[in-house]
Amino acid sequence: MRIIIQGHREEKKKAKISIPVPTFILSSRFILRKIAKKAQFENLTKENIKTISKEIRKAKKNFKKLLLVDVESNDGVKVKIYL
Amino acid sequence: MKTSFGQKFSEQRKLKGYTQEQISDKLNVSPQAVSKWENDLSYPDITLLKDISILLDISIDELLGSEKKVETKVVPVESRDVNKMLLKMIVLSSDGDKVKINLPIALLKAGLDMGITPKVSGNSSFDFSSIDFNQLIEMVENGVIGKLLEVESADGDIVEIYVE
């Protein structure tokens, strides 16, 4: 996964930050359990976390470099998240 | 904002996983020529457009910057693979903010089964909880693809949902 943040359009030198996030972190059941606990998703049982982890790996395989989220604010700040 | 030929070409090439060298080999042009196309310094010969369109799996209209026209259609059950489909949500807020979300249908379905519904936070006043995503998934499973939903709120926010 990669998170790319681009700065304000009026900045002379647009800042561009690219943050690589290893997929194993995203599809790790341990991390997903922690996220579920933090976000208070009560329905996320061990079995559900296993399914989500599997689906993330499958999506990564089926859609190479999938652009998951593309946000552009009216002042030109862009945030892109690639799987 | 209109996308230039170079931007669209580069975006689609990366999406398909080709390098500039691979494209140049397939089209019998130099890698420098491909680089120039992507930087909008020059354009390919008109006779190459058809080959580029086939190679990158994109229409010539889209390559040249025209907006993609998405229609709703029903495809036969045997010719669709839900695992390779994407749910695209586009939110254009009246303030000028744009949010595009691409979710693999299989992942969305797994989330819905667990009671997790997609949420888009931000300036848009549109209430995503009013969309019945289970109904949308059911439509997709019955073969409906293309534009599934288009809503314009009183504040001028536009929400579109496609399946591709």
Task: Kindly state whether residues B50 and B130 are assigned to the same domain.
Answer: no
Task: Kindly state whether residues B85 and B29 are assigned to the same domain.
Answer: no
* One-letter identity of residue B130: S
* One-letter identity of residue B122: G
Amino acid B80: pLDDT:
66
pLDDT over 70 percentage in chain A: 86
Q: How far from the centroid of its chain's Cα atoms is residue A30's Cα?
A: 16
B86 in contact with chain A, both atoms CB, cutoff 8 A: yes
Total structural domains in chain B? 2
Residue A77 has pLDDT above 80, yes or no: yes
What pairing do the DSSP bridges indicate for beta strands B86-92 and B144-152? unpaired
The structure's pTM equals: 0.63
| Best B12, B92, B94, B116 residue to mutate vs chain A (most A CBs within 10 Å) | B116
Q: Does residue B99 contact residue B124 with C-beta atoms inside 8 Å?
A: yes
The complex scores an ipTM of 0.79
Q: Out of B86, B100, B104, whose CB is closest to A70? A: B100
Structural domain boundaries enclosing B20: 5-63
Alpha-carbon distances of A4 from A76, B14, B26, B37, rounded to whole Å:
14, 16, 31, 24
Task: Kindly state whether residues B56 and B93 are assigned to the same domain.
Answer: no
Task: Kindly state whether residues B94 and B142 are assigned to the same domain.
Answer: yes
Residue B150 bridge partners (DSSP): B160
User: Residues near B95 by Cβ (< 8 Å), separated by ≥ 6?
Assistant: A74, B123
Take residue A33 and report the two structure tokens written for it: 């359990």
Amino acid B68: pLDDT:
59
Amino acid B76: pLDDT:
65
Amino acid B120: pLDDT:
64
Amino acid B8: pLDDT:
86
End residue of a domain, out of B63, B86, B112: B63
Task: Kindly state whether residues B55 and B107 are assigned to the same domain.
Answer: no
The Cα–Cα gap between A29 and A51 comes to 10
Residue in this structure with the two tokens 């190459």, named with its chain if needed: B48
Task: Kindly state whether residues B78 and B158 are assigned to the same domain.
Answer: yes
Amino acid B67: pLDDT:
62
CB contact under 8 A, A52 and B102: no
3-state SS, chain A, equals CEEEEECCCCCCCCCEEEEECCHHHHHCHHHHHHHHHHCCCCCCCHHHHHHHHHHHHHHHHHCCCCEEEEEECCCCCEEEEEC
Amino acid B14: pLDDT:
82
Task: Check which CATH number belongs to the domain holding B33 and give it.
Answer: 1.10.260.40
Closest CA to A71 of B162, B118, B121, B155: B121
Task: Kindly state whether residues B79 and B35 are assigned to the same domain.
Answer: no
End residue of a domain, out of B41, B63, B85: B63
* Cβ-based burial of B108 (10 A; exposed 0-12, middle 13-18, buried ≥19): buried
Task: Kindly state whether residues B90 and B133 are assigned to the same domain.
Answer: yes
B151 in contact with chain A, both atoms CB, cutoff 8 A: no
Q: Out of B86, B98, B116, whose CB is closest to A72? A: B98
Residues constituting chain B: 164
Series of mean pLDDT values for 10-residue runs along chain B (164 residues): 78 84 90 89 89 85 71 64 82 85 86 74 63 82 80 82 84
Give the single-character DSSP code of B56.
T
Task: Kindly state whether residues B151 and B133 are assigned to the same domain.
Answer: yes
pLDDT in tens, A17-66: 888 888 777 777 788 778 777 777 666 777 877 888 888 888 888 888 88
